[in-house]
Amino acid sequence: MASAAFIGYNSLVHLAFAVGITLFSFYAGRLLARKINRRSAPFILWGSIALLIAVWIAARYAVGVFPLGISFYTFQALAYLIEIYWEEEPENSLPDFALYMLLFMKFLSGPIERADQLLPQIKKARMFNYEQTVRGLMTLAGGAFMKLMIADRIAPSLDGVFVDVHNATSMQLLQVTMLYPIQLYADFAGYTLMAIGIGQMFGFRLSPNFNRPFTSQSTTELWRRWHMSLSFWVRDYVFTPLSASLRQHGVWGIRLSLLVTFIVIGVWHGAGIAFAAYGLFQGLLVVFEQATARQHEWFQKKAPKIYAPLMTIRTYVLFALSLLFFRLENTREVFYVYSHLFDGFTTGIKELKLGLTDFYWIVFGIAVVLMFAAEWAESQHSLIDRLRRANPLVRWAAYFVFATILFAFGAFGVENFIYTQF
């Protein structure tokens, strides 16, 4: 009921869509389970999938409503029905299933949770846990740091260039192209950490959505680390069935399946050629990496010290270039940026500041370094565990300093996260 109030407070229409899809998925799943060994089962499954996708497309593009979170909870519903068709047991409790679909901390922008991961947690009785709540607050604070100190600090500067690329210099275009992945990552990964942290405070363990993506040495690896709940969803429910159906075509069947899968990822983000091109760009990179795997292995053996940093930089740059399809209004503007990235290097320091003061460029730069340093340290040892074991005086001093920095230098006043539009 609290999650329904959270959604309904924003818009009763959004709540109606969410509740409608929840009820339909619950009862369609029960019907599918009863008919699972009958000839009607595939028709029930595909009819349900078609209806859910039709509602998603209509809500997003036809009626002009676009309920918040619909892409995320529709994908949860699709996965739930497919798993039942693959002979998972349906959920028998409507309140539990409704909470799985509407749970407020992950409702707006995920993670896209699987039923077998979250429903068992919902069914367990919970009591207040001080230690878990503290961990959740610390995780929440980490997400707030990424959002307020990095994403929202640099967003107005990048938006000022992206809104009118024709009046920007080539150095400005290059600058914002290379910085946009950091803004997007800090915004979306920051949201995810906030959702995970609030979930921990309530006793839920939500799925991680990012795993140090900018350390990736290939686009294939990047998509195992970036928006993982979506990546794994399309892997399990699009790529795997499609590649199995095309296995008679060998390697070309796999490559076609990869291209279709990434186009689905692109189209999931929005309609139009630009989003499809974004997915196609990523798919072509993955197919190319697959086709040149032997050359990569040879290069790695011959020059291991050069290979890792070079491929990491290459992966980041290509990802940044592909995100222009994601960020700009149309493909015409994307190709304009591509064709003017290296027109000249005469831009002055004033133009490169993008309207941001020297002081806040320093704040932004230090925050980015701290974010990546914290990610590296977290990959070695849990920072939360280490802080929890520290002397209480040290621990509370760290809390105070962190909160002071966040409130003193964070960029407040931005209302939305980037992925709420999806």
Q: Give yes or no for a contact between 239 and 81, defined as CB atoms under 8 angstroms apart.
A: no
Residue 158 included in any domain? yes
The whole-number pLDDT of residue 67 equals 87
Residue 156 included in any domain? yes
For residues 201 and 114, state if they share a domain.
Answer: no
Residue 256 included in any domain? yes
Q: Spell 135-146 as b/e; 16+ CB within 10 A means b.
A: bbebbbbbbbbb
For residues 228 and 97, state if they share a domain.
Answer: no
Residue 97 included in any domain? yes
Q: Indicate if the pLDDT at residue 37 is higher than 90.
A: no
pLDDT band at 420 (very low <50, low <70, confident <90, very high): confident
Q: Indicate if the pLDDT at residue 395 is higher than 80.
A: yes
For residues 78 and 139, state if they share a domain.
Answer: no
Q: How far apart are CA 185 and CA 200, in angstroms?
A: 22
For residues 237 and 304, state if they share a domain.
Answer: yes
Residue 157 included in any domain? yes
Q: Give yes or no for a contact between 74 and 56, defined as CB atoms under 8 angstroms apart.
A: yes
For residues 158 and 103, state if they share a domain.
Answer: no
Domain count, the chain: 2
For residues 148 and 84, state if they share a domain.
Answer: no
Q: Which of 98, 123, 148 is the last residue of a domain?
A: 123
Provide CB contacts within 8 A for 227, sequence distance 6+: 188, 209, 210
Q: What is the mean pLDDT of the chain?
A: 92
Amino acid at 34: R
Query: Torsion-angle region of residue 4: left (phi > 0), alpha (psi -120 to 50) or beta?
Result: alpha
Model-level pTM?
Answer: 0.93
Residue 403 included in any domain? no
For residues 177 and 83, state if they share a domain.
Answer: no
For residues 337 and 318, state if they share a domain.
Answer: yes
Per-position DSSP letters for 360-420, written without gaps between them: HHHHHHHHHHHHHHHHHHHHHS-HHHHHHHS-HHHHHHHHHHHHHHHHHH--------GGG
For residues 228 and 155, state if they share a domain.
Answer: yes
* pLDDT, tens only, 260-319: 999 999 988 877 789 999 999 999 999 999 999 999 899 989 898 899 999 999 999 999
* pLDDT, tens only, 56-66: 988 877 767 78
* pLDDT, tens only, 234-258: 999 999 999 999 989 889 999 999 9
Q: Which of 321, 341, 361 is the last residue of a domain?
A: 341
For residues 193 and 337, state if they share a domain.
Answer: yes
User: 247 lies in which domain range?
Assistant: 131-341
Q: Give yes or no for a contact between 230 and 110, defined as CB atoms under 8 angstroms apart.
A: yes
The whole-number pLDDT of residue 87 equals 86
Q: Indicate if the pLDDT at residue 344 is higher than 90.
A: no
Nearest by Cα to 190 from 368, 8, 382: 368
Residue 305 C-alpha from the chain's centroid:
31
The mean pLDDT of 228-233, rounded to a whole number, is: 95
For residues 114 and 153, state if they share a domain.
Answer: no
For residues 139 and 115, state if they share a domain.
Answer: no
Give the whole-number percent of the chain exceeding pLDDT 90.
78
In angstroms, the Cα distances linking 56 to 20, 63, 232 are: 12, 11, 20
The mean pLDDT of 363-386, rounded to a whole number, is: 93
